[in-house]
Structure 1
Amino acid sequence: MDNVNQISVSITYGHPRKLTLINIFVEKNTIVREAIEKSGILNLFPEINLECAGIGVFSKIVELSTPLHHRDRIEIYCPLIIDPRQARRNRASKS
């Protein structure tokens, strides 16, 4: 780490065709929204809508205003294409 006032965080996005992981340094007291914006992931995936997307830190859903800690992993969740229960029903009906 370059500076004692910085922390390391990672941002992941599970796009259906590709998992993306970006590691960045941010200032202490940075919130989730700021880290996502700083990472540049919104430029790579313009379909991400932070107001609608599920956002988590280590699989726990959080608000965009959640403060981050050193080595946190921010996860941006893709919207489901189909309900998992319906997908199971569809597979079972084909059998």
Structure 2
Amino acid sequence: MVESLIDVEVVYAAIDRQRLLAFTVAQGTSVRAALLASGIGNEFPELDLTSCPVGIFGKQVADPQNRVLQAGERIEIYRPLLADPKEIRRQRAAKAAEAKRQSQV
């Protein structure tokens, strides 16, 4: 029996460079298995492909070990945040309020 193949993509953006790989996997391949087969770990050895958070088209995949890929899907590998976005907004708002208060004096 001939195994059906599907086209998928894997994308990762490091701080200094980014990479998009298009490749073919067998139908029924899980997200995690496709990541390991993609070879992206060779280009970014700092990645732990067995446990890194991933998503498909911007939606995080809760169980990449069991989530089966569909043709044309793009797996996105996520990096940890360097700063909490809420805290950055709070600091910016506080700085703007202080600047406004200073200009009224």
Counterpart for residue 77 of structure 1? 78
Name structure 2 gaps, 5 residues minimum: 97-105
Preserved contact between residue 12 and residue 77 of structure 2 (Cα < 8 Å)? yes
**Corresponding position of 1:88:** 89
Structure 1 pair 17/87, CA: closer, same or farther in 2 (3 Å)? farther
Q: Distance in 2 between matches of 1:40 and 1:90?
A: 40
**Aligned-residue identity in percent:** 39
Which blocks of at least 5 consecutive residues in structure 1 are unaligned? Answer: none
**Amino acid in the other structure paired with 1:83:** D
Report if aligned partners of 1:53, 1:79 keep a CA contact under 8 Å in 2: no
Partners of 1:83 and 1:51 lie apart in 2 by 25
Distance 1:5 1:52, change over 3 A: closer
SS at match of 2:22: strand
| Aligned pairs (5 A) from 1:1-95 | 5-62=4-61, 63-65=63-65, 66-93=67-94
TM norm structure 1: 0.83
- Aligned residue for 2:64, secondary structure, equals coil
Q: Return the offset for 1:53.
A: 2.3
User: Whose strand proportion is higher, 1 or 2?
Assistant: 1
TM-score by length of 2: 0.76
Aligned length: 93
Q: Residues 51 and 27 (structure 1 numbering): CA distance in 2 closer, same or farther, change over 3 Å?
A: closer
In 2: Cα distance, 1:92 partner to 1:51 partner = 39
Q: CA RMSD in A?
A: 2.0
